[in-house]
Amino acid sequence: MMEILAPLLGGLGLFMLGMALMTDGLKTAAGDALKSILGAWTRTRARGLVAGAFITAAVQSSSAVTVATIGFVNAGLLTLGQAIWVVFGANVGTTMTGWLVSQVGLKLDWGALALPLIGLGMIAGLALKSRPRLGGAAQAVAGFGLFFLGVGLLQQAFSGLTPQIAALDLEGAGMFAIPLFILVGALLTTLTQSSSAAMAITLSASAGGAVPLSLAAAAVIGANIGTTSTALLASIGATPAARRVAMAHVAFNAVTAIGALALLPLLLWASEGVLDGAHLVDDTPGRLAAFHTIFNLLGVLLILPLAPRLTRWLAGLFSTPDEAVSRPEYLDSNLLQTPSLAVRSLALECWRLHTLALDLASAYLGESGRRTTAPDHRREALSELAGAIRDFIDQLTQVSLPPESGKALADLVRVIQHTEELLQASAQLQALPAPRTGPALKPAWDGMDAEVRASLSIAADRETFTDTAAQTEKAFQSLKKTLLAALAEGSAGLGPVDTGLVRAQVLRRIALSARDGRQRLGDWLNGGEPEAVEPD
């Protein structure tokens, strides 16, 4: 038994080590090229699919591509809609491993090929340590050697198991055989955390003919299902974006598996035709490799009409309050061809942005002037919302606009700017220490804080606009005079007075930004035009 178990475990270990070395080496050798492709080649679904397939085939790791895609989504460089097509492409690209094993690994003298590759690759890697990209290529060569060495050992192990497997009479196992082999394939992938390892085991086991083609194909389907475990494990405790990409992976592989099972005889027949047409080796491992590629391409065709709904469904999963804030509620690209409706929706979204910023400023200010800590991520969410509104305005400017709509856009852009000034001032207020309020200073501070809170409250009134600029300036000048008098009298030191003046200026900015944003919104909320807006 140990004569079979030792090469089986050793072959699996060498195969996985070779895959890891290949992946790391190829990624190092490629440098930033793969990231550039991933960032630039994803603007359409077809390009995202091709990019995912190409990069995965190049680095021999769908997990690496999925992790990189998640990083791009988290950084805002890829939308969810773009990312899911990269993931779908990665599933197609990962089928390259089956072709390598079936057409190369199981056909060559693995000792004569693998050992020189390992030796030359490692020697070259040591000699090229100072040149990372060349060293990475050398490491990949050594990885290929270990890859083929592992396949050879697996083939040797399963050749010894062929009589025992044949004695099981798998052909007559009945209706439970296919579900059982699907489970075996999924478990192999989950345990090794590598669908490539599960494929190598399946192809090696089928090479001797002991495992029937249909059951080996079921194990391949199971390996495809099991590969989702890597993405699911990586998404535990991760961001909502990461979990959505992982769920896209699960959804694609589930649809693909259902389609492959439903059309299993037809796909196996087609795989034979592919091998004959391409003049490749037509045996059980070759047909399994072709089957793996065909049913993943079938999965792309099946998911194509479902992708828009899938994207919308995923966008609603794992949603956080801040993400809900960052998504526009009133903007719809269908309104772009009707400028009056588009401007109306823009005004409503700007009002939403403005009032949410007012709420955040109030949280930073706190009750009775006491400083509280408001979440920075809420401010970031509002910044994302402002960016989405700007994108919509940019799209709207591409169509012909009547003069009144153009004037509205100018005012609404200024609303966004004033709101961003309000957010910046609020963040600055949070970073400042609470003011020192002795008996002489407290009335002036209370007056300034009361005026700022009143300005925020008035700016949140949708029906009427009241100009609070004069009262704000009066409260500011009174506080500044009191602070400077306290410094002159010696009742307050330079540090507290200096910090107090900065805080007073920030409070004035908050009040004026709130007032200016509400003034610019004017009557655009009700479909009208502001009566008078001072230039700013």
pLDDT truncated to tens, each residue of the chain (536 aa)?
Answer: 566 667 767 877 877 787 777 777 766 776 666 666 666 666 778 888 888 888 888 766 676 677 677 767 765 567 788 888 988 998 898 888 888 877 776 666 656 667 888 888 888 888 887 888 788 888 878 887 787 777 777 766 666 555 555 545 555 555 678 888 899 888 888 877 777 777 878 887 777 666 788 888 998 999 889 888 877 776 776 667 778 888 888 999 999 999 999 999 999 999 888 888 877 767 788 888 899 999 999 999 999 998 888 888 887 777 667 667 778 888 877 777 788 888 888 888 899 999 999 988 888 876 434 444 445 677 888 888 888 888 888 888 888 778 887 888 888 899 999 999 998 888 888 888 877 767 778 888 888 888 898 888 888 888 887 888 899 899 889 888 888 888 888 877 788 888 888 988 999 999 999 999 888 887 677 655 544 445 45
Query: Amino acid letter at 384?
Result: E
Which two three-digit tokens encode residue 376?
Answer: 């920075």
Closest by alpha carbon to 285, among 220, 228, 371, 350? 220
The HSE-up count of residue 386 (CA atoms within 13 Å, CB side) is: 22
From residue 162, give the alpha-carbon distance in Å to each of 89, 105, 155, 157, 178: 35, 19, 10, 9, 19
345 C-beta neighbours (distance < 10 Å), count: 19
DSSP labels for 24-37? HHHHHHHTTHHHHH
CA angle, 470 as apex, 465 and 472 as ends, to 5°?
Answer: 90
pLDDT score of 370? 44
Q: Hey, is 226 helix, strand or coil?
A: helix
Which two three-digit tokens encode residue 56?
Answer: 């995965």
- CATH number of the domain located at residue range(s) 323-526 in this protein: 1.20.58
Which letter does DSSP use for residue 173 in this model? Answer: S
Q: Hey, is 242 helix, strand or coil?
A: helix
Please say whether the beta carbons of 271 and 206 come within 8 A: no
pTM of the model: 0.61
Closest by alpha carbon to 190, among 232, 246, 235? 232
Which two three-digit tokens encode residue 479?
Answer: 């506080």
CA angle, 357 as apex, 352 and 362 as ends, to 5°?
Answer: 130
- Alpha-carbon span 56 to 208, nearest angstrom: 29
pLDDT score of 254? 92
Please say whether the beta carbons of 141 and 28 come within 8 A: no
Tell me the domain boundaries of the chain: 2-316, 323-526
Which two three-digit tokens encode residue 1?
Answer: 């038994």
C-beta contacts of 397-401 below 8 A and 24+ residues apart:
399/336, 399/337, 399/339, 400/339, 401/339
Per-residue burial over 167-177, b if 16 or more Cβ lie within 10 Å, else e, is eeebeeeeeeb
Please say whether the beta carbons of 84 and 248 come within 8 A: yes
pLDDT score of 234? 66
Closest by alpha carbon to 125, among 117, 137, 109? 137
DSSP labels for 46-111? HHHHHHHHHHHHHHT-HHHHHHHHHHHHHTTSS-HHHHHHHHHHHHHHTTHHHHHIIIIITTS-HH
Per-residue burial over 313-336, b if 16 or more Cβ lie within 10 Å, else e, is ebbeebeeebbebbebebbeeebb
Which letter does DSSP use for residue 223 in this model? Answer: H
Residues ≥6 apart with Cβ < 8 Å to 413: 390, 393
pLDDT score of 297? 94
